[in-house]
Amino acid sequence: MDKQEINNAITEHAMWKFDLNLLVQGGTAVPAGGITESECRFGKWLEGVTSVGRQKSSLHYRKVKQLHAEFHRVAAKVAQLAAQGKKGEAESMMGFGGELAEVSGRLTEALNRWKESI
């Protein structure tokens, strides 16, 4: 694994959030792979990392995996609110200080720390 792979993962994460925002805004975009953590491109990449034993056992990998799962749990709540017509609540979760924004920030920070360790 190299730093560029992590940069790509950060980009995938940002693109997925963009698609979720489109969904909340009433657009037709559904985040790639739906809402589950194992089906998004980031999640598939993360599972692929497990083939490298050293990475799988690293503290960085475990932290990113945990935060990625947490992010998807919160994203599912956002999508559910949007589906229920509660756009304002969904936007609040995604906005500054919102639960999804906070988890996303921690995930990106953990990815950057992992990248620095390589």
For residue 25 the two structure tokens come to 């805004």
Nearest CA-CA partner of 44 in 5, 4, 83: 5
Q: What is the pLDDT of residue 48?
A: 85
AA letter at 51: S
User: Positive or negative, the Cα torsion across 54, 59, 62, 63?
Assistant: negative
Please report, for the domain that includes residue 72, its CATH number.
1.20.120
Using an 8 Å Cβ cutoff, are 118 and 2 in contact? yes
pLDDT tens profile 8-35: 999 999 999 999 999 999 977 676 566 7
Residue 33: the pLDDT is 60
Total tally of structural domains belonging to the chain: 1
Stated as kind and residue range, the H or E segment containing 85 is: none
Write the pLDDT tens digit of every residue in 56-112: 778 999 999 999 999 999 999 999 999 899 999 999 999 999 999 999 999 999 999
Q: In which domain, by residue range, is 104 found?
A: 3-117
